[in-house]
Structures are given as C-alpha cells and as structure tokens.
Amino acid sequence: MTVSALTRPGERDRLVVKFTQIDWTFVIALCLLAGTGALMMFSVAGSSWEPWAGAHLFRFGFCLILMIALALFDIRVWFALAYPIYGLGLALLVAVELFGDTRMGATRWLDLGFISFQPSEVMKVGIVLALARFYHGISAENARLSWWLLIPALMIAAPVLLVAHQPDLGTAMLIALTGAAIVVLAGLSWRVIGAAALAFLVAVPPMVMFVMHDYQRKRVLTFLDPESDPSGSGYHILQSKIALGSGGFFGKGYGLGSQSQLNFLPEKHTDFIFATLAEEFGFLGCASVLAIFAAVIFMALRTASLAHSHFGRLAASGVTATFTLYVLINGAMVMGLAPVVGVPMPLLSYGGTVMLTVMIGFGLVQSVRVHRYTEVTSGKGAFV
Amino acid sequence: MSEPSIFFSEVNERQGTFHRRSFLLGGFAGAGMLALGGRLAHLQILEAQRYEKLSASNQFNFRLVPPPRGLIVDRNGEILATNRPNFRLLVVKDGVHEPGATLKTLAHFVPLDDDRQARLMREFERTPNQRPVSVLEDMTWEQFSAINVRAPEMPHVTADMGEVRVYPHGGAFAHVIGYVAKVNREDLTETGPNSEPILLHPGFRIGRQGVEKAFDLDLRGRTGAKKVEVDARGREIRHDQDGDIPAQPGKTVELTLDVDIQNRALEVMGDESGAIVLMDCRSGDLLCMVSTPSFDANRFVRGLSTAEYRALADYERRPLLDKAMSGTYPPGSTFKMTTALAALSAGINPEERINCGGGWYFGGRTWRCWRHGGHGPQNMHDAIKNSCDIYFYQVALRMGPDHIARAAKALGFGQTFDIGIPGQRSGVVGSTEWKRTQVKRDPTWHPGDSVSYGIGQGYVAVNGLQLAVMTARLANGRKQLNPRLIKSVGGVEMPPGDEVPPLPFSPEHLDYVRAGMISVANDRSGTAYRQSQLGLGDVMMAGKTGTAQVRSYDGVASRSSDSVRWGLKDHNLYVAFAPIDDPRYAVSVIIQHGGMGGATAAAPRAREVMRVALLKDPEIRARIERPLPMPDVSDVPPVGQAPDAPIEGPPLAADPAAPT
C-alpha cells in the first residue's frame, strides 16, 4: 500500500488500514519487555509459571488487545472524552477520600463490589487527556504566559493534592510531573519554568521535615545514608545494590541469582524486578533492556511529533512522559539513586494496575499515530 | 492544509514550540537513561567485586558447631561426666514475626504451659534478632519428629539435636566436679576465650563449679564450623561439606577419685551433714572427697527453678556448701596428735605422767576432761589413747601456742592446697603472732587460750581435707605429702603429691604418736576400739576420735544429751589410717552436729570407707587373701585333702558395731 493510496478520501477510516498504521515495531518492543518480565518471574518463582510469570503474560496479552482496540478509536473520540474522563477521575478521587478502603495505612482503593481499583490510575491518563484538550484550545501566546494558565495549574493541583492526601506520594509526584511536562511542552515561558524550579528546590527540605509522614521521611533519610541501618529501612536499597553489583558484567546466570532466589532481595518480582534481572543477566542484560525502554520512549515521542493535531501531540507526549518517569524513577530507586517509593518498572514488574494504565496510555499513543493526519477542531460537533 | 495563513502561523508557532521542547523531553529521557546506564556500569563493572563479596556473605554462612565437652573420669576410667544427645526446639526472632504467636502454635505439639511461655517471652526480649532461643530441651523422639514434619509451615522454628551434659553418679561428685550451666551475660567478656561467639550458641554451657569451672577451657574443646547456604531468614538451604571445620572435642580430665569409694562414702553418710576425705598416704592422691548432703548436678544443667534453688539454699544442712574444703570446724581431739608432736619437739618427756582427776583448776575456772571421773595418771601414750583432755591442757599451757602452730602448719593445717579446684578455706591456726594481727578486740594471747588450743578448741579451725592431709603425713611419716585431685588433663599427668620436702619431725616422735593412734583403735580401752575393727585380718586401722564443741558447756549438765536440737550438737570427727604396719590410706570424717564422742558417728563411717579402699587395693587384697603360714611343716595333710586357707580374724560380714 502506497502513501498515495492513503490520501484517497475515506481510505484512512477503514479498519484494516488503521490496523496497518499501528507501529508494530513498538508493539514488538513492548512484547520483549513484558516477556523479559515474565522470564524473571519464572526464575524467581523457582522455575515455575506459578504464581507470577503465567499471570503476567496473560495480563499482558489482555492489555495488548485492549491497546490495539483503543488505537483504532478515532482521536476525536479521545478528544471528546478528555474532560469527562478527567472529571470522572476527580470524582472517584473524592469518592475514595470519602468511602475508600484503607489498606496498609493508605486509602487508595475504591471497592465497587465486583472490583476494587485505585482511582489515581484513572487520573494518570485523565490528566494527560485534559491538559492536551485544554492546550489544544488556546493560542501559543496564552500558553506561554497568561491568566489562562491558572486553569491547567488547578487541573494539576486538584488530583495531586487528593492523591498525596491518601497518602500515595509516588503517584502524586508522577501526576504532578506528567502535568508539568505537558505544560512545558505546550510552551510555558522559560521564566516561569525557572521560577517554579527554584521554588520547588526551596520547598523540598521543609516538606521533608514537616509535611511528610514519618515512614516517608524515614525513607528519604535512609536513602541519603543507606548503610546507617542495614537491616532496617536501609535494607532494601542495600540488598538491591548488592544484587546489581554482584551480577557483574555477564550476570550470575539464569536462575542462579542468590540475592533474589534466597529472598535477600525484597519485592523481587515487583518493584525490584530490575535488580533480579541485573543479578542474573549482568550489565549486558540490563543495558539491553534499558535500550529497549529507550527505543519505546523514542518511538512514542516520534509518534507525538508526527501528529497534525496539537491535542494528539500533547496527549502522546504526555503519556510518554509518564512512562519515562516510571522507568527513570524505578531505575534510580533500584540502583540506589532515589529513595524507595512504590513505583514499579512498567511492563517488567508484576502488577495488573500499572500495566493496564500504561497500555491504555499506549493505546492513546497508537491512536494518535493511526489518526495522525486527522484534524481536530474544538468547535461543537467537530468530530464524527 | 488550506487554512487562513494567520491561523496557520498560529498553529505553526505552537507546533514549533512543541517540537523544540519535545526534543528537550527526548533529551531529558535520553540523559536519564544514560545516567542509569552509567550507574549500572559503576555498580556492575567497577564495584562488581565488592558486591560479589557482600552477596557471598549473604548467601553463605559459617554455622558454629559446638565441640563435644571433654569427659571427666575417675582414676580407673569410670565416667563421671559425659554428654548425651538432646533434642532441642529452637525459635528465632527476626523482628517481624511475633514469637508469642509461634509459641502458641508450638504449644499444640509440645508441653509449653503459660508460665514457661511468659518466661520465654522475657528471654526473647533480651535476645537480639536472628539469634535462636532454646524453647524446649530434651524432647522425646515423637515430639522431635512432630516438629520436624511441620517445620516448613513454621519458618522460625527449628528442631535440632545437640548435646547435654550428664553426670551418671548424680550427687556423689557434685561438689568436686561441679556442674555446667547456661551462659550468663556476666560470663561474656570483650576478649579472651569467653569472647568467642560459640558462647552465644543456645545449647552452650559453661562450667560453673568445681572441676567443670576450673578446667572449663580444657573441657570446652575447639569450636567447629560448617559452611551452609542460607536464605534471607537465615534458614539453612544447603550444607557444603567441603567448607567444614570439624569441632575438636574437649580434653578428658582424669581425677584421682575412685567411684566405688566415693559412692560408698555418700552411702554411709546417710542423712548426716559432713564430709569424708580419703587420701593415699604414699602418693597424696585423693581417692574420696564427699560432702553431704549433696545435690543432683544434672538439675543445674537444665537450670533450676526458683523453688528448687530455694529448697537447696535454705536447707539448714546446706547441701550447696562443700564441707570437705569450704567448711571449717574446730578439730577437737583429732588435734591432739599435733599437740603431742609439738610437745615432743619442744622437749617434753612423753613418759612424764600427769594426773587426770576429771577436772583441773586453772585461771579461775575448772577445765573439765570429757570423762568426768578422770583418767588417773596419764603419760602421752595414754593421753592419746584415752583422749585425756587434762593432759593436753597442761602440756599445751606449758609449751605455749607457737610450738603447736609450727607443728600444725607442718601437718597441713592453716593452709590451702593446690588441688586444681577452687573453694578451699584455710581455717585458723592460732599463734601469738596470729592473734596479735587478726584478733583486734583482744590481741594478747592468754594462757587460757593455750589450754583450749591443746585439745583443738578455741583459735583453731580446720577442714576435712586438712584433717586427711594431717593423718596422711603422720601415717607416711616422712614427707609433707600434698593432696592431688587431678590425675591428668588430656593425657598429660599432673604433678604428684609426693615430691615434697620431708616432715620436720623426728621419726621416733612420729612413731610415738602413731603408736598412740594404734592404741586408740586397737586397745580394748581405746576410745574407738569397737568402731575401728576392719575385720580384714592383720590389716588393721589406727585412728583418733574427736568432738568439737559448738557451744559452751559451762553450767550445762550433760554434753551427751540426745534431746538437744541438731544445730546445737557437737561435731563428731574421726581420722584414721590403715594398715597400721604399712600405712596406705588416711581418712578423715566430719559429722556436723553428730553428737559427742568421735567414736559414735564418725568412726564407723571411716571404717566402712577405709574397708572399700583397702579391698580395692590389689596389694592389700593379696595380703588379706594369702593363706596363713602353715603352723608346722610336718602337719601337711595328704595331697587332695588340703584344707581351705583359714580366714584370719572375724569374717568380713561380721559387723558388730553398726554406724549410729
């Protein structure tokens, strides 16, 4: 099929054509990452599909189908649903504040009877959609510096404060940074960016000392000096570093990682699965996986830059920013560069919620790609 | 793409900004990934070796293997202290799991009542994480396997097999050997052998008393180790046989004691409180050293309950005190040989007679002889045989205390001996110098002090071991024999007790005193004739009775009242040696509050113990069992009709004077 063929009116709306427009290299990269995750779970379970590896692959399969289905949704559908999804997310966050389940000291879960889930996950996609939708409608001038910008500031602040109050600092930070990324991408004045960065730096130490919960402060302080309490809160960081370092260049071999196999490594199949990988496959394995992550990020960014609509561009890059933050934060945590926060390595770590969120986001990215030539207008009845 | 140009440029500006900034985002992501890659390279390439070591120290663990504690055996190799297998239940606290819940679960399988659980919880509070606490010892095989089967469900519980100390002869050696017990915090030191980590092993026991304490390091052996692969909870996954360092068992400690004599001594003491010490008077080896009442040392190994301990500590006959070494008593008349030797050395003529009328007025009071009717005129031999107090009062007064003290020191009083175990008390040997320095409220030696000194009362106190040494030195007649308790340690012979200087007494004087002792036991009028008959033919015993006052009898009608409370009765003593013609063994018996007259309580017991010692001696046995020399060669009966060798003396079984 030639490019000229696509230019025929209506041709791009055919489902089969849309299907071919999905970035299949991107899909293969995702499969590789999820497969690596399953491989490590198989290893740490003592060469068993139970309890994690099988479930992980099954979930990924389901999420992949969902992602492809979402990719075929017209970008204008996403556009139209942007504010409703954000509104729903916000409503759920308020609901969780009022009726949520408290598990392990944090109120994050909403029990709907048949399923319980974390509304903060909805907001991860919701904030991207809503901000993209907002910036789609305003001029470059207004996006740089104007009173209009109070609206995105509120849009970000509301969910961040609600989530931080749960308390789920990791997710709150992720939402805030994703929002900030979109605001910057949309063209915020560098002066404002500089001033905000400065304000942030000034605000962090008092935040740590006065606003955080004890366990959160302890995590941060332990991060600064992990050897101070090797069997207490510094344990996770130290054991993770031992797992990484002892892997060496080539790794200890598949199924031979003593740190993970003998349970010295905490959360070896979830948040710290990268350390398991590092121990058994060494620098070579880690660098390869990091390269695949980088490829996924750049393919997604390229998709964003291809889009003709501002909404598409911002939405795709917003999702990419979330994904990038996941990878960098988890990586830094596992390598002892950041405090232990409950941020998993997307696709690699075991856990359904994050995988669902990430794959829905990638569904949006692929939808942007499939519909990259589609013009989106903010007027009434603009979409089909 | 055919929008108005103004709109287009507007769109274009937004797009341009986005593109520039998305490059920035890409750059940020790329930089982040590179930073992660750099960090990975740092950890996995530059610092890999360091972390490999840390990983290995996580994965492999050297588990200490306690060495089997050395045996303690008697002179014939009979086992006095050994180890037996012990099925133990250990629980590890890890800071996450509540040990109380684990104990509740365990209580379903093994007996753990609430009291015990409460006690264990206190122990858990004191114990740091990851160190096992012994929850139950001496499980039955059924309990052991019941726990082992359920081990996978109870990750903090292990059932293992250790060793526990056992004393097969219970109380007979309790004071000499002592016992082992759990390690206390006070036992641990920063350096030296007591800083070794094996002391923290839950089954480890440390020597607390006697030989177990004195030779603790020899008996302890060298700790071994086994290399095991462990998981994060410290549970053993695999055992690497090649990495093992075998434990070296502790050395064997051989004592000079003899199980049979020791057991017989414990037996004849019955309920009495006191001590029996029997010594070889050629070599100085101690064959028997018993203190009664005794206690079962095995109870201490497991740990006594407070009630058990109180019962032992509060009993008025004081089972925990070693009366052979730590209890000092006035020697009473058993001291008269010392006074006699001192008198002979001081030049007093032993044939000079002093009249005993039952009392002697001196220094404003009447000094009584034990025999109220008096003994009549006594020379020194008679005075020893009859234990005449009047004679020794006057002799002692005449020569003064320093002569007596010199003789007493030479015979072993007022000193401790290096027998390898602690706990001896030297007692008192009075002299003018001693009183001047030691008795602050009355530092002058009065003549009256000498008078009671002469009969072993007043400023003199001795222990059972010293009495035995004194008797052995008298019997030996040549050497200042030292007692020996430890025969060898790990096969290395300890110095014998007979490489010592000679006694500072002339042989004639010693013969004279010994003759007195022979008369005590063998003249029909001797104070202990009836109680000193061994019934072993011409193997005969010599001895000396003793009674030590524990209160003043001035104004009390009779000393021999059986109705007085136990704690107010006199101490009853007897020292003896045998055979009289070629002394081999010396024995001392102290019966605390045994009543008046050494012959009644102490002498029969001394005889019993002496008999066992003599009968176990092959040379003596041969002498007893040898046929009598034929009276006349012409009387030889025809071949085939030779009569059985007649047994000399009363038959062994005949025992006219049972201990009273």
Residue pLDDT, tens place only, A15-55: 888 888 899 999 999 999 999 999 999 998 888 888 899 99
Higher pLDDT: A348 or A253? It is: A348
Give residue B175's pLDDT: 92
In this structure, the strands spanning B486-489 and B492-493 are: antiparallel
Task: Please indicate if any CB of chain A lies within 8 Å of the CB of B46.
Answer: no
- Count CB atoms within 10 A of the CB of residue B57: 11
Q: What average pLDDT does the structure give for chain A?
A: 85
Statement: residue A4 has pLDDT above 70:
no
Nearest CA in chain B to A287: B37
A61-99 tens-digit pLDDT: 999 999 999 999 999 999 999 999 999 999 989 988 887
- Chain B: give the shortest CA distance to residue A112, in Å: 33
- Give me the phi and psi of B499, to 5 degrees please: -95, 75
The C-alpha angle with vertex B499 and arms to B494 and B504, in degrees rounded to 5, equals 145
Q: How do residues B414-465 score in pLDDT, each as one tens digit?
A: 999 999 898 899 999 999 999 999 988 889 999 989 999 999 999 999 999 9
Contact A328 B237 (CB under 8 A): no
Residue B145 CB partners (closer than 8 Å, separation 6+): none
Which among B53, B65, B61 has a CA at the least distance from the CA of B228? B61
Which whole-number Å values give the CA distances from B123 to A306, B93, B309, B641, in the listed order?
A: 70, 11, 20, 79
Question: Scanning every residue of chain B, which has its alpha carbon at the shortest distance from the alpha carbon of A264?
Answer: B232
Q: pLDDT at position B648, please?
A: 45
Name, of A232-236, A337-341, B495-499, B608-612, the range with top average pLDDT. Answer: B608-612
The interface residues of chain A toward chain B in range 169-228, judged by CB-CB distance below 8 A, are 181, 184-187
β-bridge partners, B65: B224
Q: With 70 as the cut, is the pLDDT of residue A106 above it? A: no
- Give the Cα separation of A380 and A137 in Å (integer): 12
- Confidence band for B4, pLDDT divided at 50, 70 and 90: very low
Q: By the 8 A CB rule, do B609 and B587 touch?
A: yes
* Nearest beta carbon to residue A301 from set B25, B35, B44: B25
Q: How confident is the model at residue A142 (pLDDT cuts 50, 70, 90)?
A: confident
d(CA B573, CA B335): 10
Q: Are B604 and B489 in contact (CB under 8 A)?
A: no
Closest CA to B80 of B163, B164, B169: B169
Where does residue B348 rank: exposed (0-12), middle (13-18), buried (19+ CB within 10 A)? middle
Question: B250 to each of B175, B217, B224, how far by Cα in Å?
Answer: 21, 8, 12
Give the model's confidence band at B651: pLDDT under 50 very low, under 70 low, under 90 confident, else very high.
Answer: very low
Mean pLDDT of chain B: 84
pLDDT band for position B2 (cuts 50, 70, 90): very low
DSSP state of A12: G
In angstroms, rounded to a whole number, what is the distance separating the alpha carbons of residues B177 and B167?
9
Q: Is B22–A301 a contact, with Cβ atoms under 8 angstroms apart? A: yes
> In B, which residues are within 8 Å of A247 by CB distance?
44, 48
How far, in whole angstroms, is CA A370 from its chain's centroid?
A: 21
Split at pLDDT 50, 70, 90, the class of B5 is very low
What is the rounded CA–CA span in Å between residue B526 and residue B219? 48
Q: Give me the residue spans of the domains in chain B.
A: 62-255
Best B3, B15, B44, B233 residue to mutate vs chain A (most A CBs within 10 Å): B44
Beta bridge partners of B160: B88
pLDDT digits (tens, 9 = 90+) for B240-271: 777 778 888 999 999 999 999 999 999 999 88
> Which residues of A fall within a CB distance of 8 Å from B45?
248-249, 283
Q: Does the CB of B31 have a partner CB in chain A at under 8 Å? A: no
Asked if A36 and A57 touch (Cβ cutoff 8 Å), the reply is no
End-to-end CA distance of chain A: 26
Across A219-233, B536-550, B605-619, which has the greatest mean pLDDT? B605-619
Tell which phi-psi region holds residue B207, choosing left (phi > 0), alpha (psi between -120 and 50) or beta: beta
Measure in Å the smallest separation between the Cα of B158 and chain A Cα atoms: 18
- Span of A116-125, B7-16, B177-186 with lowest mean pLDDT: B7-16
Q: Is the pLDDT of residue B557 over 50?
A: no
Q: Do A186 and B18 touch (CB under 8 A)?
A: yes
Q: Which two tokens stand for residue A203?
A: 């605000």
Put simply, whether B581 touches A (Cβ < 8 Å) is no
The reply to whether B25 touches chain A by the CB within 8 Å rule is yes
**What would the DSSP string read from start to end of A81-123?**
HHHHHHHHHHHHHHHHHHHPEEETTEEEEEE-SS-EE-HHHHH
Give the best-scoring range by mean pLDDT among A232-236, A297-301, A333-337: A297-301
pLDDT band at B613 (very low <50, low <70, confident <90, very high): very high
Q: What is the DSSP string of A250-266?
A: T-S-TT--HHHHTT-ST
* Chain A nearest CA to B311, separation (Å): 46
Angle at B376 between CA B370 and CA B377, to 5 degrees: 120
Q: Kindly determine whether residue A241 and residue B33, on different chains, have CB atoms separated by under 8 Å.
A: no
Residues in chain B: 660
Quick one: pLDDT at residue B646? 45
Calculate what percentage of chain A has a pLDDT beyond 90: 46
**Binary contact (B22, A317; C-beta < 8 A):** yes
Nearest to B232 among A263, A294, A313 (CB): A263
Q: For residue A51, say if its preceding peptide bond is cis, omega within 30 degrees of 0.
A: yes
Return d(Cα A14, Cα B188) in angstroms, integer: 84
Is residue A324 less than 8 Å (CB to CB) from chain B?
Answer: yes
Residues whose CB is less than 8 angstroms from the CB of residue B320 and which lie 6 or more positions away in sequence, other chains included = B295, B312, B313
The whole-number pLDDT of residue B655 equals 41
Residue B476, beta-bridge partner list: none
With a cut of 70, say whether residue B11 has pLDDT above it: no
Summarize pLDDT for B156-197 with one digit per residue, the tens.
Answer: 787 777 888 999 998 889 999 999 988 887 888 777 777 777
Question: Could you check whether the bond before residue B401 is cis, i.e. omega within 30 degrees of 0?
Answer: no
**Other residues' Cβ atoms within 10 Å of the Cβ of residue A231:** 12
Whether residues A294 and B33 touch (CB distance < 8 A) is answered with: yes
Signed CA dihedral, B117, B120, B121, B122: sign only: positive
Q: Do A335 and B36 touch (CB under 8 A)?
A: yes
Q: Does B233 touch chain A (CB under 8 A)?
A: yes
Find chain B residues with C-beta within 8 A of A328's C-beta.
29, 32-33, 36
Alpha-carbon span A75 to A71, nearest angstrom: 9
Answer for the pair B543, B532: CB distance below 8 angstroms, yes or no.
yes
State residue B1's pLDDT score: 42
pLDDT tens readout for residues B127-164 = 776 677 888 877 888 888 888 787 777 777 877 778 88
Tell me the backbone φ, ψ of residue B245, rounded to 5 degrees. Answer: -115, 115
Q: Tell me, what's the pLDDT at A208?
A: 72
Structure tokens at A15: 């489902």
What tens digit of pLDDT does each residue of B272-329 get? 899 999 999 999 999 999 998 999 988 888 777 788 888 888 888 889 889 999 989 9
Any A CB within 8 A of B77 CB: no
Distance in Å, alpha carbon of B11 to nearest chain A alpha carbon:
8
Query: What is the pLDDT at residue B108?
Result: 81
pLDDT above 70 coverage of chain B, percent: 89
pLDDT of residue A384: 32
pLDDT given for residue B130 in this prediction:
66
Query: Residue B591: which H helix or E strand, with range?
Result: strand B585-591
Inter-axis angle of helices B401-410 and B336-345, nearest 10: 110
Question: Distance between CA atoms of B406 and B404, rounded to whole angstroms?
Answer: 5
Lowest mean pLDDT among A3-17, A59-73, A294-308: A3-17
**Fold for the domain defined by B62-255:** Penicillin-binding protein 2a (Domain 2) (3.90.1310)
Q: Is B11's CB within 8 Å of A310's CB?
A: yes
- In this structure, of A296-310, B515-529, B563-577, the range with the lowest mean pLDDT score is B563-577
Question: What does the alpha-carbon distance between residue B473 and residue B522 come to, in Å, rounded to a whole number?
Answer: 21
User: How distant is the alpha carbon of residue A106 from its chain centre?
Assistant: 21
Instruction: Specify the range with the lowest mean pLDDT, choosing from A48-57, A220-229, B283-292, B372-381.
Output: A220-229
> Which residue, chain included where needed, has tokens 């409460």?
B118
CB contact under 8 A, B43 and A245: yes
Structure tokens at A127: 């904030």
Decide if pLDDT at B528 tops 80.
Answer: yes
Q: What is the pLDDT of residues B43-95, one digit of tens each?
A: 999 888 888 888 887 777 777 888 899 999 999 999 999 998 888 888 877 66
The answer to whether the CB of B93 falls within 8 A of the CB of B156 is yes
The whole-angstrom separation of Cα B103 and Cα B112 is: 8
Please, which residues have CB within 8 angstroms of residue B448's CB and are 6 or more apart in sequence?
Answer: B362, B363
Minimal C-alpha gap between A260 and chain B (Å):
9
